[in-house]
Amino acid sequence: MDNIVLENISPKYFTPKDLEQSQIWKKNIIFQKGKKFLIVAPSGSGKSTLATAILGTHFQYEGNIKYDQQIVKNLHLEKIVENRKDGVSLLFQDVRLIKDLTISENILLRVFNQDRKKFIPIMEEYASRLGVESLLNKKAENCSYGERQRSAIVRSLVNPTDFLIYDECFSHLDMENKKIAFSLINEVSQKSESSVLFFELNEFPFEHDYQILHL
């Protein structure tokens, strides 16, 4: 997938307060593969609504979202799900690890039917970078929210898609861990030529070269 295109979209069941000032709602936007974006908006303005719409989880919006030339609303569910393997992934705000599985089992779900053994060194390296390597054999339900959030970031990167979307993925991390996670996401996305879309309440309080859009 080379582009995700937003064509004049707006939420169907609520009207954002700053609809007229938005740089995304009711506009035509192209997120190109390899480019990086920071989408900033206050709570309740539709960040998660937009992020999940781009993933193809719902269609409660006016206008069109396209994967390259394909209108997502017109795609069969199987095709949308298929796109989540290689095309577009979303780290949800509530993380969504399976509580009965270990951290490593959760992370390796992201490799689907490929040989898991070849991903283990990658997983261990990223887990070490984010300080969760000692948790790999621990069940997710026994980890803190911050630990699960760092583990979910590892899962998103172990087999990266063309478009990596993060919905407030640093919300339970302190500044030092935010910087480390941000650096790892940048490094992996550059290597895989992935595009990154961060949805955040505020701009990052550290240096970056992301294009900022206000929702």
Q: Angle at the Cα of 53 (from 194 to 73), degrees rounded to 5?
A: 105
User: 23 falls in which pLDDT band (50, 70, 90)?
Assistant: very high
Mean pLDDT of 47-66: 95
Mean pLDDT of 71-80: 96
The neighbouring-strand residues paired with 214 are 40
pLDDT greater than 80 at residue 96? yes
pLDDT greater than 90 at residue 42? no
Strand order of the sheet with strand 195-200? 88-91, 163-167, 195-200, 36-40, 211-214
- 3's enclosing H/E stretch is strand 3-11
| Amino acid making up residue 136 | L
pLDDT greater than 90 at residue 164? yes
User: 16 falls in which pLDDT band (50, 70, 90)?
Assistant: confident
Domains along the chain with CATH numbers: 3-214 (3.40.50.300)
145 vs 45: which has the higher pLDDT: 145
What is the distance between the alpha carbons of residues 195 and 101, in angstroms, rounded to a whole number? Answer: 29
Mean pLDDT of 150-161: 97
User: What percent of the chain stands above pLDDT 70?
Assistant: 100
CB 12 within 8 A of CB 27: no
Q: What is the mean pLDDT of the chain?
A: 94
pLDDT greater than 90 at residue 148? yes
pTM of the model: 0.94
